[in-house]
């Protein structure tokens, strides 16, 4: 009897395991029911089957808020979700790069001196010595794991650079020269002036007639009773430039009111204007220097153009690389988990 009972028990056990297995499989892969939700509760995305945890997103959100000097409490729901998705996209991109880089070079070695040096610099940037260990502990890091993390990031960057090098190499001296020839007018340096002024505000209590006042100051200068510098020191109401003898530095037409620029254009170097009225008040303007509009020589801007074009080509190549890699693996995001993630404390 006991043998029969044991046999039945064995068969019932097998049947139970089969049914349970079928249920779990259906829950995970077809219905996405409670078992699937429980298992996935700590995962916001998967890249080629490798999970990105909710904690990783929470830590990354905290770091991003710190970089932006922003407060989570001050963001509305739309801004919070936008930030979640932006940060998650960067985590997915990083995981993509890491996965394909490890396929090419799966062997990891100890952190390099450069990684250890960067880790040390990161720890020394904090004003208080206790702050670095506290920040690392909040991110579940130690000095050793931080150096290892930096090492992996440096290898990722080197791998990216190697992948996009053929595209970046297309920025040749000939390409730079051609861009210069096709965009010369955009590089034009506008006409500029260096001037000083004596300023009286438009309306001041107890001084209703500012025009008469500034014309009186002009007459003192013309009569040789006071120099421009003496009048500025004694009477100018522009406190910032007053300390510099009224000096306004170099400026173009975009930086000053149109009526001010019109007066400056009419002056010779060393000449002081008649009283000029603008929307803010009255001015006596001394033109010190002027520069005509000109086109910079190619050699003056060659390095700047090269850096700009290289940066643009690199950014475009990285986007193309990530788009190509994402097509080769499955990327799955769990929207509900993402939306429920808050920055780590």
Last residue of some domain: 275, 291, 307? 291
Does any domain span residue 172?
Answer: no
| pLDDT of the residue at 147 | 79
Does any domain span residue 266?
Answer: yes
Does any domain span residue 116?
Answer: no
What CATH number should be reported for the domain holding residue 229?
3.10.50.40
How far is the C-alpha of 12 from the C-alpha of 7, rounded, in Å?
A: 9
pLDDT by residue, tens only, the chain of 345 residues: 445 545 544 555 554 455 455 544 444 444 444 444 444 468 999 998 899 999 999 999 999 999 999 999 999 999 999 999 999 999 999 999 999 998 887 655 566 666 566 656 665 665 566 666 666 666 667 777 777 888 888 899 999 999 999 999 999 999 999 999 999 999 999 999 999 999 999 877 777 789 999 999 999 999 999 999 999 999 999 999 999 999 999 999 999 999 999 999 999 999 999 999 999 999 999 999 999 999 999 999 999 999 999 999 999 999 999 999 999 999 999 999 999 999 998
Find out whether 47 and 95 touch, Cβ atoms under 8 Å: yes
Does any domain span residue 200?
Answer: yes
Q: Which domain holds residue 30?
A: 2-39
Does any domain span residue 243?
Answer: yes
Does any domain span residue 247?
Answer: yes
| First CA to last CA distance, the chain | 62
For 289, other C-beta atoms within 10 Å of its C-beta total 11
The Cα-based distances of 198 to 176, 280, 320, 344 in angstroms read: 46, 13, 57, 56
Last residue of some domain: 291, 314, 338? 291
| pLDDT of the residue at 34 | 46
Does any domain span residue 114?
Answer: no
Does any domain span residue 209?
Answer: yes
* Total number of domains constituting the chain: 2
């Amino acid at each position: 009897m006991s043998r029969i009972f044991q046999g039945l028990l064995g068969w019932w056990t097998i049947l139970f395991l089969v049914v349970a297995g079928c249920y779990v499989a259906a829950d995970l892969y077809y219905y996405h029911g409670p078992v699937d939700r429980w298992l996935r509760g700590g995962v916001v995305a998967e890249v080629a089957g490798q999970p990105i945890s909710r904690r990783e997103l929470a830590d990354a959100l905290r770091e991003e808020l710190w970089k932006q000097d922003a407060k989570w409490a001050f963001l509305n729901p739309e801004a919070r979700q936008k930030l979640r998705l932006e940060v998650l996209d960067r985590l997915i991109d990083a995981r993509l790069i890491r996965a394909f880089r490890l396929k090419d070079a799966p062997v990891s070695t100890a952190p390099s001196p450069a990684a250890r040096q960067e880790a040390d610099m990161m720890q020394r940037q904090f004003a208080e010595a206790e702050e670095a260990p506290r920040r690392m502990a909040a991110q579940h890091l130690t000095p050793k794991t931080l150096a290892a993390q930096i090492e992996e990031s440096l290898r990722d960057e080197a791998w990216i650079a190697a992948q996009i090098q053929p595209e970046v190499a297309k920025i040749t001296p000939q390409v730079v020269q051609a861009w210069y020839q096709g965009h010369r007018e955009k590089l034009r340096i506008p006409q500029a002036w260096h001037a000083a002024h004596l300023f009286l505000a438009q309306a001041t209590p107890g001084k209703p007639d500012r025009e008469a006042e500034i014309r009186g100051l002009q007459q003192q200068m013309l009569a040789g009773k006071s120099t421009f510098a003496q009048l500025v020191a004694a009477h100018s109401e522009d406190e910032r430039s007053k300390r510099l003898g009224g000096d306004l530095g170099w400026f173009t037409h975009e930086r000053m009111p149109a009526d001010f620029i019109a007066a400056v254009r009419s002056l010779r170097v060393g000449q002081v204007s008649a009283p000029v009225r603008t929307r803010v008040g009255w001015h006596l303007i001394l033109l010190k220097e002027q520069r005509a509009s000109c086109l910079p020589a190619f050699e003056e801007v060659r390095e700047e153009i090269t850096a700009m074009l290289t940066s643009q080509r690199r950014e475009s190549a990285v986007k193309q690389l990530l788009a190509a890699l994402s097509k080769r693996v499955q990327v799955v995001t769990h929207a509900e988990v993402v939306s429920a993630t808050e920055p780590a404390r």
